[in-house]
Amino acid sequence: MAAIQSSCSLMLVVEASDSARQQLEAVLAAGAISSVCFLPAAERSYDVQTLRPLIHATQKAGAAALIVDDARLARTLKADGVHLSARQAKTDYAEARGVVGNGCIVGADAGRSRDLAMQLGEDGADYIAFSAPDFVADQQAARERRLDLVKWWAEIFEVPCVAFDVDSAADAATLAAAGADFVALRLSPSLAPADARETAAAMLAALPRRDT
């Protein structure tokens, strides 16, 4: 199975919809994508028949395929692991690790909690994520907090750090310079494949490489 890389790189967040495959394949061809987190399509549960070819395309491109918040489905579909959202990480890390085993990736979003981030790191999470979700009313404050958390984590801990909800090349460059090992771009389902590829390519070009 593919593994999370240690250099600053790009992660994708993709809704597992019927239209996602062409978009995903176009973006995977844009450059070195480290991993793809799959979400269920809006207001729906995961559809195995839709998700299976997306996982195959991701792994064929050499990236890690991660299922959000469903470790059992990740194991069933032979994905590379699971990403636990902030609402799940606090209570479900141990269960998820038990389901997928030590040979798979279990990454976790710590929300805004430094204590939770440290606990997840001690428990063996393969990466710690910090985010600025769009439901937060004060987005400027959320992004500043995410940047501060990335800086803090990168200065002290060795477990890789992922910045989620990155929506521009400039934002990606700032977070990478602050110490993020990965930045996560969520692809809008409405983006045409060519536009999605252009967006990802611009973000890739903004990411500096660091010595590892």
CATH number at residue 80: 3.20.20.70
The predicted pLDDT at position 7 comes to 66
What is the C-alpha R_g of the chain? 16
**Is pLDDT at 153 greater than 90 in this prediction?**
yes
The predicted pLDDT at position 6 comes to 43
Is residue 119 domain-resident? yes
**Is pLDDT at 208 greater than 90 in this prediction?**
no
Residue whose entry in the numeric block shows the structure tokens 């395309």: 57
pLDDT band at 51 (very low <50, low <70, confident <90, very high): very high
Tokens representing 22 are 């062409």
pLDDT band at 162 (very low <50, low <70, confident <90, very high): very high
Per the structure, the complete domain to which residue 134 belongs is given by: 9-206
In the chain, the number of structural domains is: 1
The predicted pLDDT at position 2 comes to 44
Residue whose entry in the numeric block shows the structure tokens 């990965």: 182
Task: Report the chain's mean pLDDT, rounded to a whole number.
Answer: 91
**Is pLDDT at 196 greater than 90 in this prediction?**
yes
pLDDT band at 184 (very low <50, low <70, confident <90, very high): very high
Is residue 1 domain-resident? no
Is residue 42 domain-resident? yes
**Is pLDDT at 164 greater than 60 in this prediction?**
yes
**Three-state SS across the chain?**
CCCCCCCCEEEEEEEECCCHHHHHHHHHCCCCEEEEEEEECCCCCCCHHHHHHHHHHHHHCCCEEEEECCHHHHHHCCCCEEEECHHHHHHHHHHHHHHHCCCCEEEEECCCCHHHHHHHHHHCCCEEEECCCCCCCCHHHHHHHHHHHHHHHHHHCCCCEEECCCCCHHHHHHHHHHCCCEEEEECCCCCCHHHHHHHHHHHHHHCCCCCC
The predicted pLDDT at position 31 comes to 76
Residues 6 or more apart whose CB falls under 8 angstroms from that of 24 comprise 12, 14, 36, 54, 57, 58, 187
Is residue 172 domain-resident? yes
Is residue 115 domain-resident? yes
Average pLDDT in the 185-200 region? 93
The predicted pLDDT at position 19 comes to 84
Entry pTM = 0.91
At 107-133, the pLDDT tens digits run 999 988 999 999 999 999 999 999 987
Is residue 4 domain-resident? no
Average pLDDT in the 70-91 region? 95
